[in-house]
Amino acid sequence: MTDEDLDRIARGYREFVAEAQPTSPLYAELAGHVAGSERVLRFLAGLPVGKRQPNLLLAALQFLDGAPADGAELERRITEDGDRVRATVLARATQTNEPARCGALLPVLARLAGPLTLIEVGASAGLCLYPDRYGYDYDGVQVGPTDSLRIRVETSGGVPVPSAVPEVAARIGIDLNPLDPTDPGDRDWLRALVWPGPVAEERLARLDTAAEVAAREPATLLAGDLVDRLPDALDLAAPGSTVVVMHTAVLPYVPGDVRARFAEAVAGLPVRWLAQEPPGAVPGTGERPADGWGKEFVVSLDRRPLARSAPHGGRLDWLDGDPR
Ligand SMILES: C[S@@+](CC[C@H](N)C(=O)[O-])C[C@H]1O[C@@H](n2cnc3c(N)ncnc32)[C@H](O)[C@@H]1O
């Protein structure tokens, strides 16, 4: 382990401070502490490269004994309980599943010719595969079922708020490690991935309700890589449906060469391609920000940017363009 390794890890945690600050001041403080702690940086450098990111470390701590109250507690727990933290980090992955992201997908999905087959890559527990089963509130305009969870979205730029949810004929997810929304351990992990802060309670309630929706009407979740399993997912499409390959908050976790192969594969298919990802993750959606992936997402259809959205949902700023 070199000083360069430690510097690189510290830089990732410093970038995360800015990302977390608006919604989780505690995580911003904890990440800032990690960036300045040689002991914690050395602990992280002893983990495989893909297992060092702030989201994963902080979720593991929260999963085991709740979020540390401050940097001193985090440091103490890494020092005294590092083996358990390491085991959790190694056994788990960043799989935050946020159904509120459907609030950014719905205006696009509702404009496509239905019925739809949804193929979500990087689906986690599949909770974004139910855009038709959730209710929405776009600046006070209600859409969809009234007896389900309510996803609130603040908008600007003339979002084409639909009058109804689309018809979904098939729900198929692909994930390296699909989580089971009915499994208590997986649900606890999903809850631990929610950042503590002013909106945590609302997010946890949403997660629980969405998991119940998913449990009532299970999606088909395929285990494996998004490029490798795409043909299997396509085979399961409902006859006569419009097939939508979609993903939210997935491509930053996918190595660049796989991302490029995925983009090439999807572009050559008779499908619609709906993404909600950081700028530049999908070709044609801008430049990758120099200071980290996580501050704002771009909603794109067939590589055309249509809107900007808050990473965990709740805000949608429409750009010029029609979603058809
Ligand atoms: C941050 S989560 C997002 C989950 C969900 N899309 C959402 O927005 O709520 C990213 C998911 O992508 C999955 N993932 C990462 N790389 C993948 C790959 N190469 N193939 C399939 N899934 C992948 C992870 O396992 C994880 O569940």
| Residue to probe by mutation, ligand 1, list 98, 118, 124, most atoms within 8 Å of CB | 124
Confidence label for 321 from pLDDT (cuts 50, 70 and 90): low
| Residue to probe by mutation, ligand 1, list 174, 176, 191, 213, most atoms within 8 Å of CB | 176
Q: Which protein residue's CA is at the shortest distance from atom 2 of ligand 1? A: 95
Smallest CA-to-CA distance from 158 within 324, 323, 317, 308 is with 317
Q: What is the pLDDT of residue 322?
A: 62
Report the CATH number at residue 272. 3.40.50
At 291-314, the pLDDT tens digits run 666 679 999 999 999 999 999 899
Asked, for residue 308, whether it belongs to a domain, the answer is: yes
Residues 78 and 127 reside in one and the same domain: no
Write out the residue range of the structural domain in which residue 274 sits: 99-318
Pick 199 or 30 by higher pLDDT. 30
Q: Percent of the chain having pLDDT more than 90?
A: 90
Asked, for residue 281, whether it belongs to a domain, the answer is: yes
pTM, two decimals, is 0.92
Atom of ligand 1 at shortest range from CA of 177:
25
At 92-125, the pLDDT tens digits run 999 999 999 999 999 999 999 999 999 999 999 9
Mean pLDDT, the chain, integer: 95
Asked, for residue 45, whether it belongs to a domain, the answer is: yes
Q: What is the pLDDT of residue 3?
A: 79
3-state secondary structure of 221: strand
Q: How far apart are the C-alpha atoms of 215 and 137, rounded to whole Å? A: 24
Per DSSP bridges, beta strands 135-138 and 150-156 are parallel
Query: Mean of the pLDDT values across residues 161-177?
Result: 97
pLDDT at 42 over 90: yes
Q: What is the pLDDT of residue 323?
A: 60
Pocket of ligand 1 from Cβ distances under 6 Å? 93-98, 101, 121-124, 128, 174-177, 225-226, 248-250, 253-254, 258
Asked, for residue 323, whether it belongs to a domain, the answer is: no
Domain end, chosen from 91, 118, 148, is at 91
pLDDT at 75 over 60: yes
Smallest CA-to-CA distance from 189 within 177, 173, 175, 197 is with 177
Asked, for residue 289, whether it belongs to a domain, the answer is: yes
* Residues pairing with 150 in the sheet: 135
pLDDT at 31 over 60: yes
3-state secondary structure of 318: strand
For residue 224, with 0-12 CB atoms within 10 Å meaning exposed, 13-18 middle and 19 or more buried, which class applies? Answer: middle
Residues 13 and 29 reside in one and the same domain: yes
